[in-house]
Amino acid sequence: MARGCGMKMKISKTVYINTMGCQMNVVDTEQIEKILSTIGYERTLSLDTADLIIANTCAIREKAQQKAFSFLGRLAGLKKRKAGLIVSIGGCVAQQEGERILKRMPYVDLVFGTDAICRLPEMVQQIEVEKCRVIDVETTTSVNEFENGIALHNHREAAKFVTIMQGCDNYCTYCVVPYVRGREKSRASGKIIKEIRELAKSGVREVTLLGQNVNSYGKKEGLCTFAELLRQVNEIEGILRIRFTTSHPKDLSDDLIGAFHSVEKLCDHVHLPIQSGSNAVLKRMNRKYTREEYLTKVDRLRQACPGIAISSDIIVGFPGETEDDFLDTLDLIKLAGYNSLFTFNYSDRPNAPAAAFPNKVHPAEQKARLQSVLSLQESITTQKNSELVGSTAQILVEGKSKKQRLNDVNPNGQAIQWSGRTSTNKVVNFIRNDHEGPGDELLPGKLVHVEIEKALAHSLWGKLVEAEPFGLKGKKYYAA
């Protein structure tokens, strides 16, 4: 563990962290913030006043990597103007590019990989004292070292991410995750449960269990199954909702499918990436399932939980993807009836085998195919959202709405527009029918009933109709 961890220190320095990419990076940023506080750093939202700047990066797409280097490029001038400023890059781009970053950008002081977060205090202090440049992209398969990077959460929020595993053993031919996050390693269930209990005590009401492939949790280490872990989390007092991501279709077990029926706090939503609707493309991607097997699992999920919402990932323009392959993808989107999609143009990534595949799809054709997918899914999502108008949904309040309108205030001038999510992961902005007093009683973490009045492209709009104890899959819980 890093020297100084657990010690109280006077905060005299500030760190600015630019977080890019997936939920794993969001969690990593929390760990970075917490572990740097042990050597006197406090988070700042100002680049100009920061003593340490960290780009926490993503390498999953070429565009994400370009974004990372663009941000670092803008820091060259600031580095010249501010003596003592430490410029650092972490995350997947740092892991992938390593020493090449130091050669490319002479003003970068520190490059640290995805397994080096627990060693950050020593590295930063070394740079402060020796005015040197440091690189640490060493990877480890040690669960203990991985666990050391998990720091206690230090923010009160309604919902939090909890990392249960890291890395991936699937080696999809387009993906860099095994190369930048390493092989799969799972945390002990006891430590996960302890962390979630602490979160519940601090006021967290919803947890999302995170991993590159949560369905394979614990298999290598001989731990409990993922479905069994969900049942353990379900018993934690104070936790009202459970989510997880990401879920690989090939490892979606009967037991896990059944959990959507039997685990009371498990939300009615699953993210199940398909990537392509073509068996030929799926084989070249090394996804290890067919479209038929995938659709069978979708049917079984809906049998277990009739109201379940399913989201997915689609990559268009994979090398060798023909027009017929693409039409298979459009057909599968219709058959699956997704609630939402994350869509991407294929891009070559370093170390990924597909970078060497022939028959690349022209960028203009990629763009046209992506637009076709977006248009199709927009029509499906709009229809599904429209069907909810007039219904009443249970919402976990996350806080004041980001879409606050100036005239949405009560007689005391207090904002009364709030935001939260349904069990099916739909964002709902709503107004409190405010005849009883200030709207600030709706603290993050409360579960309320909202009548849906309007369906928008990416969210729903409604009004509060109830804030009483509620039923959740047959059992009564309280939003205290």
Q: What is the CATH number of the domain that holds 473?
A: 2.40.50.140
Above 60 in pLDDT, residue 107?
A: yes
Residue in the structure block whose two tokens are 């979160």: 199
pLDDT value for 9: 46
Q: Collect all residues with Cβ–Cβ distance below 8 Å to 129 and sequence separation of at least 6.
A: none
41 lies in the same domain as 158: no
304 lies in the same domain as 155: yes
DSSP state of 360: P
pLDDT value for 144: 61
How many Å apart are CA 53 and CA 82, to the nearest integer?
A: 12
pLDDT value for 115: 87
Q: Is 2 inside a domain boundary?
A: no
Residues 442-466 as b/e (b if ≥16 CB within 10 A, e otherwise) read bebbbbbbbbbeebeeebbbbebee
Domain that holds residue 446: 392-477
Single out the residue in 341, 360, 386 at which a domain terminates: 386
pLDDT value for 155: 53
Over residues 379-394, the mean pLDDT reads 95
381 lies in the same domain as 409: no
Over residues 116-136, the mean pLDDT reads 94
Where is average pLDDT lowest: 166-170, 411-415, 462-466?
A: 411-415
How many Å apart are CA 72 and CA 46, to the nearest integer?
A: 15
Single out the residue in 363, 386, 409 at which a domain terminates: 386
Where is average pLDDT lowest: 150-154, 240-244, 431-435?
A: 150-154
418 lies in the same domain as 466: yes
Where is average pLDDT lowest: 43-57, 108-122, 266-280, 399-413?
A: 399-413
21 lies in the same domain as 111: yes
Over residues 422-429, the mean pLDDT reads 95
306 lies in the same domain as 436: no
Torsion of CA 354, 360, 363, 369, to 10 degrees: -90
From 324, 211, 205, 316, select the one nearest 271 (Cα to Cα).
Answer: 211
Could you tell me the end-to-end alpha-carbon distance of the chain, in angstroms, rounded to an integer?
A: 36
pLDDT value for 433: 58
96 lies in the same domain as 121: yes
157 lies in the same domain as 122: no
Q: Is 3 inside a domain boundary?
A: no
- What are the tens digits of pLDDT across the range 313-357? 999 999 999 999 999 999 999 999 999 999 999 999 999 999 999
How many Å apart are CA 466 and CA 344, to the nearest integer?
A: 40
Total domains in the fold of the chain:
3
What CATH number is given to the structural domain containing 171?
Answer: 3.80.30.20
247 lies in the same domain as 300: yes
- Please give the model's pTM, rounded to 2 decimal places: 0.83
- What are the tens digits of pLDDT across the range 154-210? 455 889 999 999 999 999 999 999 998 889 999 999 999 999 999 999 999 999 999
469 lies in the same domain as 382: no
Q: Is 7 inside a domain boundary?
A: no
Where is average pLDDT lowest: 1-5, 21-25, 63-67, 296-300?
A: 1-5
Q: Is 353 inside a domain boundary?
A: yes
Where is average pLDDT lowest: 116-120, 332-336, 377-381?
A: 116-120
Single out the residue in 107, 136, 165 at which a domain terminates: 136
pLDDT value for 148: 54
98 lies in the same domain as 182: no
pLDDT value for 409: 47
Residue in the structure block whose two tokens are 């009401």: 205
Q: Is 6 inside a domain boundary?
A: no
pLDDT value for 436: 47
How many Å apart are CA 68 and CA 100, to the nearest integer?
A: 14
Lookup: tokens for 134 = 């440091």
pLDDT value for 88: 97
Mean per-residue pLDDT of the chain? 88
> What is the DSSP track for 387-444?
TTTT-EEEEEEEEE-TT--TT-B-TTS-B-EEEEE-TT--EEEEE---SSS-GGG--T
226 lies in the same domain as 83: no
Tell me which amino acid residue 94 is. Answer: A
What CATH number is given to the structural domain containing 25?
Answer: 3.40.50.12160
Lookup: tokens for 423 = 């069990």
Q: Is 1 inside a domain boundary?
A: no
Q: Is 4 inside a domain boundary?
A: no
Q: Check if the beta carbon of residue 447 is closer than 8 Å to that of residue 421.
A: no
pLDDT value for 457: 82
